[in-house]
Amino acid sequence: MALIRLQKFLSEAGFCSRRKGEKYIKDGHVRVNGAVVTELGTKIEPDKAQVEVQGKLIKAKDDLIYIVLNKPKGYVTSCNQPGDNIVLNLIDIPERVYPIGRLDKDSTGLLLLTNDGRIHHRLLHPSFDHEKEYEVIVSSPIPEGALRKMAKGLPMMGTITRPARVRRISSKIFRIVLKEGKNRQIRRMVRKVGNRVVRLRRIRISDIKLGKLAEGSWRYLTKKEIKSLLRVL
């Protein structure tokens, strides 16, 4: 097996981020085959080296999996909800993966699933500024003033929504880019401006696009998409 940097091994094992791994190494908390290692350039063979951090043995993780699903309407993003169709039933692989974030039952579109527990917080927390783009169809023509209000921010759940980018597609269709994800946020925003969502579809998360993936279908992320996704770590 090829040699990899020690901090990369710690990250890929799901123990910590690379940056945190570098700190553990520099602070003298990492041992390789019983010897303390403080050199950041140190490389190891993941399948042979015995790596410990503060006395805890770190094992190489099974292959990490990253999937994009086009969630159909009527499915919930919970991993276990009796009586409901769950998105995991659409992923026919033996490995266990988990949804990153949520799409409500009536919404469709891009959902990421993975067994890499490191990325959930950073992809979902608004402080990291990751964009999520949605295509919205409403019940009646929506005026420019309403779109401007949503772009500027609306009072909701005791706060003001963050500024968003909004682009009209037609009289009843617009796209909105958010950097936060409050519960049923877009539906609530549309109600605030006197309209109703007929269809809500997420088409992008960060650099990952839904593209032409059929509803109910899934695919593995490409190497380029994974590299982009892992930049959040």
104 is catalytic: yes
Q: Digits of tens for pLDDT over the chain (233 positions)? A: 578 899 988 877 767 878 889 999 999 999 999 999 999 989 998 878 899 999 888 877 667 889 999 999 999 997 777 778 999 999 988 877 889 888 999 999 999 998 887 777 667 666 667 899 999 999 999 999 999 999 999 999 899 999 999 999 999 999 999 998 888 999 999 999 999 999 999 999 999 999 999 999 999 999 899 888 887 65
Catalytic residue among 47, 84, 92, 104: 104
Which residue segments constitute the domains of the chain, with CATH numbers given? 4-58 (3.10.290.10), 66-124+209-232 (3.30.70.580), 131-205 (3.30.70.1560)
Please, which residues bridge with residue 132 across strands?
Answer: 178, 205
Q: What is the pLDDT of residues 154-193, one digit of tens each?
A: 999 899 999 999 999 999 999 999 998 888 999 999 999 9
The pTM of this model reads 0.73
